[in-house]
Amino acid sequence: MSESENIVVETAERMFADLADAQSIIASKSDAWKAPVWDALADAGLTLPWIDETLGGAGADLATGFALLQAAGRAALAVPLAETMIAGWLLARAGLASPAGAMTVAPAQPNGRITLSADGTLSGRARNVPFAADARHIAVLAATADGASVIALVEAAACQIAAGKTLAGDALNGVTFDRVKPIAQAPAPTGVDLTALMLMGAAARSLQIAGALETALDITVRYANERVAFEKKIGKFQAIQHSLARLAGEVAAAVSAAGSAADTLSGGRVAGDALLLEVAAAKIRCGEAAEVGAAIAHQVHGAIGFTSEHILHRFTLRAQSWRDDFGPESHWAVELGRRVAARGADDLWPLVASR
């Protein structure tokens, strides 16, 4: 991690510890904590790190933003930071400035389609858009009648937003665009299409899942070393040690896969099937780790881990929820298999070995 990445991560982690501590959030039983942490992030320029300063952003590189997202995952941050970062990245690709406040991006699923009509309005429906109900604006990737891609910015209030929540209780909404007039729009540059947007979102979610699992592991190890049963700390029992080792393995795999995808995107030297291989593999592996890791962590905690008063669920439920955003494991597995099959058997090993 570079010095600039370290500075950003350390700054963010201090904010999260002071303003978004999991135990304090649970004890407060309200969302009053969200505004202060968002204001602190915005004041520090961390909500728009991937945007050039001329467009109102911080001008940081992709690697710094990805490090920030993993730190946010370690805090199980339940504000639309990742969504705003991705929306800002998308708008910047078309030279559009990002507005102040929280944003989200649509579509957020691989089968989503929003169209730009000849009269300049947007129509269509995007399913399962994260934090749409909490966002002021939505960055939209739309298609024209001739198949070209257009990037647009719309006010969330101009759309029909359906109620919905994730497993963790965060906003997850269907968004209907019924002849919505964009605030601004511009043609998407070459290479910025639905697949590119899904890859960016999948990488972000992989990092968040990996971060959440890191904290779940820390919580579980600490609990095992404190909880006493039969006059012995449960972490001394061989069965528990085996479970902790399995959990550590899942976390290590998720962190490695997500980090590799982030490095590939940040480097910018890999594209096409090789890039898809990295990101798709990361999303698949992190999703699997979220499923297995959450089960192990709750098994070690026993009944207490399932209570609303315990902090473990803030991390495991969000890791589970993030699995489905920007394409679940099944989508990326099919897409990866399709690409590999199209290349033929002789190209499989060179593709895998080159990574």
Per-residue pLDDT of the chain (355 residues; tens, 9 = 90+): 677 778 889 999 999 999 999 999 999 888 999 999 999 999 999 999 999 888 777 888 999 999 999 999 999 999 999 999 999 999 999 999 999 999 999 999 999 899 999 999 999 999 999 999 999 999 999 999 898 999 999 999 999 999 999 999 999 999 999 999 999 999 999 999 999 999 999 999 999 999 999 999 999 999 999 988 888 999 899 999 999 999 999 999 999 999 999 999 998 766 788 899 999 999 999 999 999 999 999 999 998 888 989 999 999 999 999 999 999 999 999 999 998 888 888 887 877 776 6
Tell me how far the alpha carbon of residue 1 is from its chain's centroid: 20
Bond from prior residue into 36 cis (ω within 30 degrees of 0): no
**3-class DSSP state for residue 116?**
strand
DSSP 236: G
State the pairing for strand pair 160-161/122-130.
Answer: unpaired
Give the tokens for residue 146. Answer: 């001739």
Is 88 part of a structural domain of the chain?
no
**3-class DSSP state for residue 26?**
helix
Which of these, 51, 286, 89, 287, lies nearest to 197 by C-alpha position?
Answer: 89
| pLDDT for 303 | 84
Residues 180 and 284 in one domain: no
Range of the domain at 311: 194-353
Residues 284 and 215 in one domain: yes
Residues 129 and 276 in one domain: no
Residues 218 and 186 in one domain: no
List % helix, strand, coil for the chain (3-state, nearest 5). 55, 15, 30
Domains contained in the chain, number? 3
Is 327 part of a structural domain of the chain?
yes
The CATH code of the domain that includes 344 is 1.20.140.10
Backbone φ/ψ region at 248: left (φ over 0), alpha (ψ -120 to 50), beta: alpha
Is 319 part of a structural domain of the chain?
yes
Q: What is the pTM of this model?
A: 0.95
Is 82 part of a structural domain of the chain?
no
| pLDDT for 272 | 84
Say how far apart CA 139 and CA 188 lie, in whole Å: 12
The number of helices, as runs of H, and strands, as runs of E, in the chain is: 11, 10
Residues 252 and 327 in one domain: yes
The CATH code of the domain that includes 147 is 2.40.110.10
Residues 239 and 156 in one domain: no
**3-class DSSP state for residue 311?**
coil
Residues 208 and 173 in one domain: no
Residues 289 and 182 in one domain: no
| pLDDT for 349 | 82
Is 226 part of a structural domain of the chain?
yes
Residues 25 and 121 in one domain: no
Is 83 part of a structural domain of the chain?
no
Residue in this structure with the two tokens 């919505």, named with its chain if needed? 180
Tell me how far the alpha carbon of residue 354 is from its chain's centroid: 27
The answer to whether 214 and 185 are in contact (CB under 8 A) is no
